[in-house]
């Protein structure tokens, strides 16, 4: 619980900087939505966590759905940023693919967003109830898969990946395998499944390397 003194200081600071206010609301909401779920997280939860009033929040967002979508966009950008970061560090296509696998392993210990993978968390919850938010989840998933496809295509052109692989199929299975490993590890509260998944992917990466 935020003390009255801290709450007053936060409100005073936010009132002087509307953009900072909006960023803070989104940042704090990200952890709540990704941990508790979108439906289970109320505006009251967000007011308590931010120290702001409902009126202050709704000055920046038209409704809770607007806040949810803005927050997911924030999480998506953070995830894509980390994705690009790990890819750029490696030189060859096989090294980049392995770096992506290791990146997913960090979810078990140090997730990019508190609560784990936003694709899994939002994708399952919004499948039938929130089509717009679910579309944003699909867009993020497609972006990540497109990145893997691009790595494979570049790898083929540079002679690092075998020419006979089905790029789209491999990329889809690659992402699905990692997300499945994350899900099992989260359910079982153990990294074992994800570690096995990554070991298996390491062998697959070796098998397609030229």
7-48: pLDDT as tens digits: 556 555 555 666 778 888 999 999 899 888 888 899 999 999
Is 70 exceeded by the pLDDT of residue 156?
yes
Say if 1-61 and 72-208 have the same CATH topology: no
Question: According to the model, what pLDDT value does residue 11 have?
Answer: 56
Average pLDDT over residues 165-177: 94
Question: According to the model, what pLDDT value does residue 38 have?
Answer: 87
Could you tell me what percent of the chain has a pLDDT over 90?
Answer: 41
pLDDT, mean over the chain: 86
pLDDT grade for 163, boundaries at 50, 70 and 90: very high
Max mean pLDDT among 125-129, 152-156, 180-184 falls in 152-156
Residue 209, strand partner residues: 161
Question: According to the model, what pLDDT value does residue 91 have?
Answer: 93
Question: According to the model, what pLDDT value does residue 103 have?
Answer: 86
pLDDT grade for 3, boundaries at 50, 70 and 90: low
Max mean pLDDT among 99-113, 123-137, 148-162 falls in 148-162
pLDDT grade for 6, boundaries at 50, 70 and 90: low
CATH number of 1-61: 1.10.10.60
Question: Could you confirm whether domain 72-208 is CATH 2.40.440.10?
Answer: no
Question: According to the model, what pLDDT value does residue 102 have?
Answer: 87
Count CB-CB contacts under 10 A for residue 57. 19
Average pLDDT over residues 73-88: 89
Average pLDDT over residues 163-189: 91
Domain ranges (residues) in the chain: 1-61, 72-208
């Amino acid at each position: 619980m935020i003390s009255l003194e801290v709450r007053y200081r936060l409100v005073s600071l936010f009132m002087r900087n509307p953009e900072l206010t909006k960023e803070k609301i989104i940042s704090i909401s990200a952890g709540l939505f990704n941990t508790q779920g979108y439906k289970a997280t109320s505006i009251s939860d967000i007011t308590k966590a931010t120290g702001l009033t409902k009126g202050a929040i709704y000055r920046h967002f038209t409704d809770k759905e607007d806040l949810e979508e803005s927050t997911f966009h924030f999480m998506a950008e953070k995830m894509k940023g980390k994705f690009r970061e790990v890819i750029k560090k490696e030189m060859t296509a096989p090294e980049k693919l392995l770096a992506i696998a290791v990146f997913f392993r960090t979810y078990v210990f140090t997730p990019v967003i508190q609560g784990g993978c936003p694709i899994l968390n939002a994708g399952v919850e919004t499948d039938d109830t929130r089509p717009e938010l679910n579309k944003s989840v699909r867009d993020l998933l497609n972006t990540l898969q497109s990145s893997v496809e691009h790595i494979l295509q570049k790898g083929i052109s540079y002679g690092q990946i075998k020419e006979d692989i089905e790029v789209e199929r491999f990329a889809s299975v690659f992402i699905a395998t990692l997300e499945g490993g994350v899900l099992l590890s989260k359910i079982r509260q153990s990294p074992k499944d994800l570690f096995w998944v990554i070991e298996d992917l390491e062998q697959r990466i070796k098998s397609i390397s030229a």
